[in-house]
Each structure stands twice: as structure tokens, then as C-alpha cells.
Amino acid sequence: MLDEAVTDTSSNVLAMAADIVSAYVSNNHVQVGELPNLIASVHASLSRLGGEEPTAAPEPEKLTPAQIRKSITPDAIISFEDGKGYKTMRRHLTLRGLIPEAYRAKWGLPTDYPMVTTSYSAKRSELAKSLGLGQQRRKSAPDAANGS
């Protein structure tokens, strides 16, 4: 029974190697003398791949409170995914297929861990205030109607 499984796997690897070499040769110029080496190389590569056990993704290391504090600076938030600093994490996380909640859970971060730097947030707040956003609309429109 085990011999049948090994034979099936071996013939399957051989068939895949033949398909790969066939496709390669049809699209590339290969000398006749190089074919045996090409076939052997592809077969050996596929055999090595088939023999490896799939490994689970490594669990991210537990972060210390000091590491978490150091990742937050006034001008950048250091990503634990790639070690680079960002003003806002949302776009960076989206490119990696994460949402802020999943990122916090993955790295064991507190729920109040910021996703935007303090300097960027202050700049946006100042811009909004200068544009008058968030203020009640002035009642100048009804007053103007009464004055006519």
C-alpha cells in the first residue's frame, strides 16, 4: 500500500517534470545535449519540493511595553510588519491585507494603540479649524433675508 503511494507520487512528479520541460523547450531554444540535464534538474527540484512538509507561518514574537512605546513617535508610527515609519498606518495595513483591529490583535497591541501620528493629527485638526469645519452654521442667512 505504501509502495503504491510512493509510486503514484513518483510518477506524478515525473509527469509534472515532463510538462514543465515540454513547455520550456517549446518557448526557448535548448541544445539537444542539454535536455537530459534540464530534465534531471527539474525532476530533482520537484522531488525536493514534494518532500518538504508545509510549515505554518511563524507566530509573531510577544512585544514588550518598551517596544510598543518606542514604536510611537510624534512624526512616525513604526510598523511591526516591516519596521518602517508611517504617518498613518491604515493604507500600509490595507496593502498587507490587514485592518487596524487585526493588526493590533496580531501583535498584541492595546486597543487604544494609535494608527495616526500626533503631528499629522494636529496638522489635520488645525486645517479643519481654519476651514471652519465642525462649527455651527451661522444664522446670517435668515438675518440677510430680513434686512432686504
CA distance 85 to 73: 9
Distance separating alpha carbons of residues 93 and 98, to the nearest angstrom: 5
| pTM of the predicted protein model | 0.51
**Distance between CA atoms of 86 and 75, rounded to whole angstroms?**
8
- pLDDT tens for the chain, residues 1 to 148: 444 444 556 678 888 888 998 998 999 887 887 888 888 888 888 888 766 544 555 666 788 999 999 999 999 999 999 999 999 999 999 999 999 999 999 999 999 999 999 999 999 999 999 999 988 765 555 555 565 5
**What amino acid is encoded at 10 in this protein?**
S
